[in-house]
Amino acid sequence: MSQVGSAPVYHSSFVDDTGITKACGCPLLPLKTHIRGPAPAFDQDKADIVDEAITFFRANVFFKNFNVKSPADKLLIYLTFYINIALKRLEGCRTLAVGTKAIINLGLEKVPVPGEPGFPFPELLRNYLKQIREETSGRLLNCAYRANGTPNKWWLAFAKRKFMNIVIL
């Protein structure tokens, strides 16, 4: 696995998926969310997979390869791609209100799920990925914009990065 520099990528801490429902080898991890969907509820005081994806995004986006060490890493990779797409949409939005509208519009688009061309994905995984994208979008807005509603250039600058040298959407 070749990586930028000698630092390793950040992997998910959710390696124990005992008792976790899986769809196509992807764990449907619990989320701290108010959005309806198949994800089980998670302790509001602990970091969930969305928190990990947002926290690790700015470091992981520099890597050209990502060695999957656990099924949760699949979600981490998926969310890293989604955050990259969302940041590209937010890049030209000068206010939180405009950014929120852009994120809502992104949520209405058909965002590809892994293996879609010719591969029938179970409805459970499709619904979970939709729910996790919506939850990530809301939390990402809190990072991409300051409390006064202005863009946070330290986040939006990462819209130009390509995770694993791949562009989606």
Instruction: Output the furthest CA–CA distance in the chain (Å, rounded).
Output: 45
Residue 63 pLDDT level (bands cut at 50, 70, 90): confident
Q: What is the mean pLDDT of the chain?
A: 86
Q: How confident is the model at residue 122 (pLDDT cuts 50, 70, 90)?
A: low
Q: List, for residues 130-152, the tens digit of each pLDDT value.
A: 899 999 999 999 999 999 999 99
Q: pLDDT tier at 118 (50, 70, 90 boundaries)?
A: very low
Q: Where residue 123 falls among pLDDT bands split at 50, 70, 90?
A: confident
Whole-number Cα distances in Å, 130 to 59, 74, 94, 136, 161: 24, 15, 26, 10, 23
Q: Which two tokens stand for residue 1?
A: 């696995």
Each domain of the chain, given as residue ranges in start order, spans 23-165
Q: Which residues are 145's β-sheet partners?
A: 151
What pLDDT, on a 0 to 100 scale, did the predictor assign at position 47?
93
Query: How many Å is the Cα radius of gyration of the chain?
Result: 16
Residue 2 has pLDDT above 70, yes or no: no
pLDDT exceeding 70 applies to what percent of the chain? 88
Q: Is 53 left (phi over 0), alpha (psi -120 to 50) or beta?
A: alpha
Nearest Cα to 43, choosing from 14, 78, 72? 14
Which tokens go with 115? 């293996």
pLDDT value at residue 4: 44
Residue 75 has pLDDT above 60, yes or no: yes
Cβ atoms of 114 and 23 within 8 Å: the answer is no
CATH superfamily label, 23-165: Actin-related protein 2/3 complex subunit 3 (1.10.1760.10)
- Cβ neighbours, 10 Å, residue 11: 18
Q: How sure is the predictor about 1, in pLDDT bands with cuts at 50, 70 and 90? A: very low
